[in-house]
């Protein structure tokens, strides 16, 4: 099945961009509405899936990015020599979860929830690109507010923070 002219244009834009492209930008570039742009992306994605293509399109906060098919990761790693990503430690995962579910959140709040100093964990998550500064709290000392990044969403296969699974409350 051939791509339509609009699908081909969107595919080219996403390929060249190398980073997420907002739906509105795609729509304006090809002269369609946002809902039409969304349908065009969905059509490309469906063709990729149906044809078991090596490429995929992921949605991240209302933007789209072309990437490789996750099923091919091991082949890519072997061919390109890319080292597999190291799994996050328990400390980093706990801190990341607190940030993702409470964002924007201060380091003091993170420490209050975890019961230990969070400097190293927060700094490491920022270094890994999974967390970023989201502003400052309007309180004495103006503490930094932290939140999850688009890289976090991509790494965990989410298109937005709204897709985080519900928290189970301890009784």
75-79, 103-107, 130-134: least confident range: 75-79
Lowest mean pLDDT among 84-88, 102-106, 136-140, 145-149: 84-88
Give dist(CA 12, CA 117) in Å, integer: 46
**Containing domain of residue 98, as a range?**
90-163
Residues 70 and 97 in one domain: no
Q: Is residue 148 part of a domain?
A: yes
105's enclosing H/E stretch is: strand 105-106
| Domain stops at, among 76, 103, 121 | 76
| 106 and 158 co-located in one domain | yes
What pTM does this model have?
0.71
**Which residue pairs, CB below 8 angstroms and at least 24 apart, start in 151-158?**
152/96, 152/100, 153/60, 153/61, 154/58, 154/60, 154/65, 154/67, 155/130, 157/58
Q: Which residues pair with 121 in a beta bridge?
A: none
Residue 85 lies in a domain: no
84: in domain: no
Q: Are residues 51 and 104 in the same domain?
A: no
Give yes or no: residues 96 and 159 share one domain: yes
Rounded-to-integer distance, Cα 134 and Cα 97, Å: 16
Please measure the distance between the N-terminal and C-terminal CA atoms of the chain and give it in whole angstroms: 54
Looking at residue 166, what DSSP letter applies? P
Domain count, the chain: 2
81, exposed or middle or buried, with CB in 10 Å at 0-12, 13-18, 19+?
A: exposed
**17 and 63 part of one domain:** yes
164 and 101 Cβ atoms separated by less than 8 Å: yes
Please write the tens of the pLDDT for every residue from 20-73.
999 999 999 999 999 999 999 999 999 999 999 999 999 988 899 999 998 988
pLDDT at residue number 74: 85
Domain boundary among 45, 76, 107: 76
Instruction: Using the 3D structure, point to which of 76, 106, 138 is the last residue of a domain.
Output: 76
CATH number of the domain within which 150 lies? 1.10.10.10
Strand order across the 63-68 sheet: 21-22, 63-68, 55-60
62 DSSP β-pair partners: none
């Amino acid at each position: 099945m051939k791509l339509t002219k609009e699908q081909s244009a969107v595919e080219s834009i996403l390929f060249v961009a190398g980073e997420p492209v907002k739906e509105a930008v795609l729509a304006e570039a090809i002269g369609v509405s946002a809902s039409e742009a969304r349908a065009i992306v969905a059509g490309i994605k469906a063709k990729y899936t149906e044809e078991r293509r090596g490429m995929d399109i992921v949605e991240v906060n209302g933007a789209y990015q072309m990437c490789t098919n996750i099923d091919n990761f091991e082949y890519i790693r072997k061919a390109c020599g890319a080292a597999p990503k190291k799994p996050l430690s328990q400390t980093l995962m706990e801190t990341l979860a607190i940030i993702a579910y409470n964002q924007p959140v201060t380091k003091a709040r993170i420490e209050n929830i975890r019961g230990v100093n969070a400097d190293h964990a927060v700094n490491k998550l920022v270094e890994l690109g999974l967390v970023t500064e989201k502003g400052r709290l309007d309180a004495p000392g103006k503490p930094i507010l932290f939140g999850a990044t688009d890289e976090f969403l991509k790494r965990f296969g989410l298109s937005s923070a709204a897709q985080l699974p519900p928290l189970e409350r301890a009784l």
